[in-house]
Amino acid sequence: MSRLYDTVEPSVIDEDMLQKAVEEQGPKDEAGKIAKKEGINFGDVLSLRLDFKNVLKIDNLWEFTSLTKLQLDNNIIEKIEGLDFLVNLVWLDLSFNNIEVIEGLNKLTKLQDLTLYNNHISKIENLDAQLELQVFSIGNNEIKDIKDILYLRRFPKLKTLNINNNPVCQEENFRLYVAAFLPKLEFLDYRLLDQQTKTVAYDKYQNQVEEQIDKDNKAKLVAEAQQKLDQEIHRQKEAYVEYLDTDKLFVDMYADDPEGNKLNEIPGVDEMLIIYKEKLVAVCKELFSFGLLEHDKRKAEVDMFWECVNEAKLENKQEGMKAIEEFNIEKKRLFSEIQQLTDAKLMEIKVMEFNTLISELWDKLMGLELQLVDQLEEVIKDFDRNMQDLVSGFLENVQAYLTQARELENQHNEKMIESATIALEKAAKNELEEDVSEDLRMLLVDKDTVLNAVTSSHDVHLLKIDNKEDDIVTRINGWLKNMVTNIHNEEEIRRNRTRVTEINHYIDHLREEVEALDMAVGN
């Protein structure tokens, strides 16, 4: 039975647990009271402790997008999951749980310190994305295969490894083996790997190490080639023209066309197919090249938009900071004067003056925010209009190219009708070649059968072209809609609300200082 199952009911990571954990780790005293009253945005939390909570399943952490440190040690977790949104995580502790497989960490590319001590893990795997890993604790698990040490060679920044109390540690000369194959490692099981140990280790395993280096280099070349290919495919997908530089559309036409494949056995059709394929692929390649150029135009427009937005926000921020700096100078002057006054009426006048300064600051900051709102609204409208034009122009050309593809298909279909009719006449006269398949002979029994087969094949091909057009139209329109909606929500609505809240909180804080001054005057 898993640890603690028989003593305590497993806990669920819910809103109450998270809220309590955040409050316990948040600011104390007056700042803590304010934070509790106003509510803490989980998206702003940087560190979270959920240790010793008897948690069975990792869940409901999707709001903690800024989290850099997460403690989930000393629970009863059986599976690593629910961490995909924590992309800024640097430090993760999952020690003292019931985990059997390393998984679910693909999105955590910034992870530097990973602790999986005291679980039930038998293999080091699924950490390919953790290239920033510097500290790895996998001690007190069930690692048996010494080849798992070789897996750790993929982490160029790994300096500290804790792997003690695993079956693999019983291997002869284990420490020397680790030192030889992980030459950049500085600490192994809490002990320094000095240069002398590394030298002895290398001398002992020199041949194997050099063989491994050769394997690593070859694997690296393969991986780099694959990465380059993946990046290119990703670029093509962003341009909505992936694989159009190949014969994929042509191949897809016949992949789901059993009748067409039978008809292609008609003598002379093979030459027609070669010509048709060449022309269709040529059209697809033109669309492919055009699509990449249009993608670059859209990307340039998006980059320019964000440059304008960030420039406007920076300029506005600087104006706001300038206003606050000027206010603070006046505030310092007033406070200094008030401290030297003994006359209550004069002090009251100074307090009123301070109040006026606060109101003027609020007007200034809110005015700047309204100014920025207007600027961003105009920029977003222009951007939306420009992107609509770019997308419309792109789609018009897509439809034009695919219209060419349909025309080629129509021409090929007419030739197929002619060839099928001739073959039907030969079949009627028993003049077909002997090597004609039985499937084709079954189509050539009468005119209706063979022409229905030609029509069916033609319909399949046109449907493939239509589907390609629909796919491009749907995807790019969806992309544009989502992007503009997100920009509107984030830059116009959420940013404005956040900024207004910040201004009001700051002004409220200043007004509290005014109240404190009033009390001082009253006393």
Q: Where residue 35 falls among pLDDT bands split at 50, 70, 90?
A: very low
Q: Where residue 523 falls among pLDDT bands split at 50, 70, 90?
A: low
Is the pLDDT score of 472 beyond 50? yes
Please compute the mean of the pLDDT values over residues 11-16 and round it to a whole number.
88
Q: Is 0.75 topped by the overall pTM? A: no
Q: Mind listing the pLDDT tens digit for each residue in 326-355?
A: 999 998 888 888 778 777 788 888 888 888
Map tokens 């953790």 to a residue.
130
Q: Mind listing the pLDDT tens digit for each residue in 100-155?
A: 999 999 999 999 999 999 999 999 999 999 999 999 999 999 999 999 999 999 99
The sign one gets for the Cα dihedral 14, 17, 20, 26 is negative
Q: How far apart are CA 294 and CA 238, in angstroms?
A: 10
Q: Which of 35-49, 278-292, 353-367 ranks highest by mean pLDDT?
A: 278-292
**Which tokens hold the place of 2?**
């898993």
Identify the residue with better confidence: 5 or 270.
Answer: 270
Q: Mind listing the pLDDT tens digit for each residue in 229-243?
A: 999 999 999 999 999
Map tokens 């859209």 to a residue.
298
- State the Cα torsion 9-12-16-19 to the nearest 10°: 120
Is the pLDDT score of 30 beyond 60? no
Residue 34: predicted pLDDT: 41
Residue 150: predicted pLDDT: 93
Q: Determine the angle formed by the axes of helices 344-428 and 447-487, rounding to 10 degrees.
A: 170
Q: Is 73 left (phi over 0), alpha (psi -120 to 50) or beta?
A: beta
> Bridge-partner residues for 467, per DSSP?
none
Of all residues in the chain, what percent carry a pLDDT higher than 90? 74
Q: How far apart are CA 236 and CA 357, in angstroms?
A: 57
Q: Which of 17-26, 36-45, 156-165 has the lowest mean pLDDT?
A: 36-45
* C-alpha distances out from residue 92 to 11, 46, 252, Å: 20, 12, 46
Q: Are 227 and 408 in contact (CB under 8 A)?
A: no
Q: How far apart are CA 349 and CA 353, in angstroms?
A: 6
Is the pLDDT score of 27 beyond 70? no
Is the pLDDT score of 207 beyond 70? yes
Is the pLDDT score of 427 beyond 90? no
Q: Where residue 511 falls among pLDDT bands split at 50, 70, 90?
A: confident
Q: Are 125 and 150 in contact (CB under 8 A)?
A: no
Residue 37: predicted pLDDT: 46
> Bridge-partner residues for 187, per DSSP?
160, 192
Residue 521: predicted pLDDT: 53
**Which tokens hold the place of 170?**
């019983």
Map tokens 């309590």 to a residue.
20
Residue 337: predicted pLDDT: 83
Residue 306: predicted pLDDT: 95
Q: Mind listing the pLDDT tens digit for each residue in 288-321?
A: 999 999 999 999 999 999 999 999 999 999 999 9
Indicate the burial class of 457 (C-beta count within 10 angstroms; 0-12, 13-18, 19 or more).
Answer: buried
Q: Are 150 and 171 in contact (CB under 8 A)?
A: no
- State the Cα torsion 446-447-449-451 to the nearest 10°: 160
Count of residues in the chain:
523
Q: How far apart are CA 302 and CA 462, in angstroms?
A: 35
Is the pLDDT score of 482 beyond 90? yes
Q: What is the mean pLDDT of the chain?
A: 90
Give the per-residue SS3 of 398-456.
HHHHHHHHHHHHHHHHHHHHHHHHHHHHHHHCCCCCCCCCHHHHHHCCCHHHHHHHHHH
Residue 31: predicted pLDDT: 39
Is the pLDDT score of 4 beyond 50? no
Residue 522: predicted pLDDT: 52
Is the pLDDT score of 6 beyond 60? no
Q: Which of 34-38, 437-441, 484-488, 492-496 has the lowest mean pLDDT?
A: 34-38
Q: Choose among 214, 216, 152, 159: nearest CA to 184.
A: 159
